[in-house]
């Protein structure tokens, strides 16, 4: 029997990407899509690429109706919005994947510091499972609430986790330089977005030095290392639609060469279908992952300075959002992990 899935926030880029992936998923039936600001519009009018694939009409948010018609709800709302909706869905017996940030941090006191709001549903933070499948697959399978990682953290954590897990690098002084396409800011209006004329032929840093994803990255790296890890994280906006490239620098604490680190990465991700550790000589590029749930990784060593350099590329709407959500859905319902996701990227 197909898993019944609904999407809250289907008019935004993340929600629409989830709808796109679910529309052809062999084990899923898409039942409802909501869009508070675009209610009553056919999905195919909002996103013409879905014409002929999705005949649903967006509707206002109705937790009772969603619970009645869904086995799982994917929530793609701005930060601070999903925590007002998810508790009712959970108490009505529905499993939930939150693509937003509201349940990623375990400590409720971090939300005022990093997101500038008080958490209104803190008792659910303890049970929320951080949804980076490659790090938490066992917990995700039995979870009723999964908090998808942010797009930058997904890339940064996949790049750095193998290093911190084996204590190969110092836990402080880690530098993460990240570049993102403009779709990461949302479709537009109050949710964000960037006009073409202000983005074309421009590269800019932003949210320096306190981007809210810093707390999430440090939380999960510290868990992987079993000790506190501190990072300097600087994001940049680049003139492309989708994609993230992360270059992370960490000081080695013992002599290791590139071949040893490459072998460690291959071992760490040997059973991960969506992480591609590139062969020696190849480096990640965003275009190779566009439209997919793949993350491409490479690691190098600057022996002169004793620095490990880990590089990751992924699609911010794929592995960084909706693709990751579908991967988690597959685990939660005992489906093939690659179901609905095993397609190559768009190129060129």
pLDDT tens column, 19-45 = 999 999 999 999 999 998 888 999 999
299 or 197: which leads in pLDDT: 299
Task: Quick: pLDDT tens for 124-139.
Answer: 999 999 999 999 999 9
Domain that holds residue 66: 3-127
List beta partners, residue 251.
307
For residues 2 and 71, give the distance between their C-alpha atoms in angstroms, rounded to a whole number: 10
Dihedrals phi, psi of 45, to nearest 5 degrees: -80, -35
Cβ pair 333, 3 in contact under 8 A: yes
Q: Is the pLDDT of residue 274 over 50?
A: yes
The reported pLDDT for the residue numbered 9 is 95
**Residues 70, 169 share a domain:** no
The reported pLDDT for the residue numbered 75 is 98
Residue 275, CA atoms < 13 Å, CB-side half-sphere: 25
For residues 327 and 348, give the distance between their C-alpha atoms in angstroms, rounded to a whole number: 25
**Residues 256, 289 share a domain:** yes
Q: Is the pLDDT of residue 191 over 80?
A: no
The reported pLDDT for the residue numbered 189 is 42
Residue 145, domain member (yes or no): no
Which CATH number characterizes residue 14's domain? 3.40.50.720
**Residues 120, 215 share a domain:** no
Task: Quick: pLDDT tens for 297-328.
Answer: 999 999 999 999 999 999 999 999 999 999 99
Cβ pair 340, 22 in contact under 8 A: yes
**Residues 104, 166 share a domain:** no
Q: Is the pLDDT of residue 113 over 60?
A: yes
Where does residue 295 rank: exposed (0-12), middle (13-18), buried (19+ CB within 10 A)? buried
Task: Quick: pLDDT tens for 54-107.
Answer: 999 999 999 999 999 999 999 999 999 999 999 999 999 999 999 999 999 999
Find tokens 């601070």 and name the residue. 80
For residues 215 and 92, give the distance between their C-alpha atoms in angstroms, rounded to a whole number: 31
**Residues 158, 118 share a domain:** no
Which CATH number characterizes residue 299's domain? 3.30.360.10
Q: Is the pLDDT of residue 188 over 70?
A: no
Residue 206, domain member (yes or no): yes
Which residues have CB under 8 Å from 267's CB, separation 6+?
Answer: none
Residue 197, domain member (yes or no): yes
Choose, from 75, 140, 151, 223, the residue flagged as catalytic. Answer: 151
**Residues 157, 119 share a domain:** no
Secondary structure element (H or E) that encloses residue 46, with its range: helix 43-46
Helix-strand-coil percent breakdown of the chain, rounded to 5?
35, 20, 45
**Residues 122, 171 share a domain:** no
Residue 60, domain member (yes or no): yes
Q: Is the pLDDT of residue 197 over 90?
A: no
**Residues 307, 163 share a domain:** yes
**Dihedral of CA 288/242/19/81: which sign?**
positive
Q: Is the pLDDT of residue 232 over 80?
A: yes
151 is catalytic: yes
The reported pLDDT for the residue numbered 193 is 63
Torsion of CA 28, 34, 98, 87, to 10 degrees: -110
| pLDDT classification of 145: cutoffs 50, 70, 90 | very high
> What 3-state DSSP class applies to 31?
strand
**Residues 184, 88 share a domain:** no
For residues 180 and 246, give the distance between their C-alpha atoms in angstroms, rounded to a whole number: 9
The reported pLDDT for the residue numbered 196 is 83
Q: Show the CA angle centred on residue 229, arms to residues 130 and 174, nearest 5°.
A: 110
For residues 259 and 307, give the distance between their C-alpha atoms in angstroms, rounded to a whole number: 14
Q: Is the pLDDT of residue 186 over 60?
A: yes
**Residues 172, 115 share a domain:** no
Residue 346, domain member (yes or no): no
Q: Is the pLDDT of residue 192 over 60?
A: no
Where does residue 23 rank: exposed (0-12), middle (13-18), buried (19+ CB within 10 A)? middle
Residue 329, domain member (yes or no): no
| pLDDT classification of 123: cutoffs 50, 70, 90 | very high
Omega within 30 of 0 (cis) for the link into 348: yes
Tally of domains in the chain: 2
Residue 89, domain member (yes or no): yes
**Residues 162, 56 share a domain:** no
**Residues 260, 169 share a domain:** yes
Q: Which pair of tokens denotes residue 210?
A: 């306190």
Residue 191, domain member (yes or no): yes
Average pLDDT along the chain: 95
| pLDDT classification of 242: cutoffs 50, 70, 90 | very high
39: left (phi over 0), alpha (psi -120 to 50) or beta: beta
């Amino acid at each position: 029997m197909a898993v019944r899935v609904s999407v809250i926030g289907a008019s935004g880029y993340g929600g629409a990407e989830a709808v796109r992936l679910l529309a052809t998923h062999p084990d899923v039936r898409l039942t409802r899509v909501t869009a508070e600001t675009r209610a009553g519009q056919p999905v195919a009018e909002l996103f013409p690429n879905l014409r002929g694939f999705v005949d649903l009409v967006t509707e206002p948010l109705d937790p009772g109706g969603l619970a009645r018609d869904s086995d799982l709800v994917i929530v793609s709302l701005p930060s601070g919005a999903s925590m007002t909706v998810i508790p009712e869905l959970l108490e009505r017996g529905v499993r939930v994947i939150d693509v937003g940030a509201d349940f990623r941090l375990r400590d409720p006191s971090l939300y005022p510091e990093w997101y500038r709001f008080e958490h209104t549903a803190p008792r659910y933070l303890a049970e929320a499972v951080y949804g980076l499948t490659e790090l938490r697959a066992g917990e995700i399978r039995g979870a009723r609430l999964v908090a998808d990682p942010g797009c930058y953290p997904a890339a940064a954590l996949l790049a750095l986790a193998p290093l911190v897990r084996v204590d190969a690098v110092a836990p402080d002084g880690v530098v993460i330089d990240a570049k993102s396409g403009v779709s990461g800011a949302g479709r537009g209006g109050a949710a964000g977005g960037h006009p073409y004329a202000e983005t074309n032929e421009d590269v800019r840093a932003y949210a320096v030095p306190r981007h809210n994803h810093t707390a999430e990255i440090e939380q999960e790296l510290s868990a992987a290392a079993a000790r506190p890890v501190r990072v300097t994280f600087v994001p940049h906006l680049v003139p492309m639609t989708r994609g993230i490239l992360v270059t992370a620098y960490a000081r080695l604490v013992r002599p290791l060469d590139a071949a040893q680190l490459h072998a460690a990465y291959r071992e760490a991700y040997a059973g991960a279908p969506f992480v591609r550790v590139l062969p020696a000589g190849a480096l990640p590029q965003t275009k190779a992952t566009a439209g997919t749930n793949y993350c491409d990784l490479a690691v190098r060593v600057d022996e002169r300075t004793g620095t490990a350099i880990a590089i990751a590329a992924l699609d911010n709407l794929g592995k960084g959002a909706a693709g990751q959500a579908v991967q988690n859905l597959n685990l939660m319902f005992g489906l093939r992990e690659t179901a609905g996701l095993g397609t190559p990227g768009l190129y060129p």
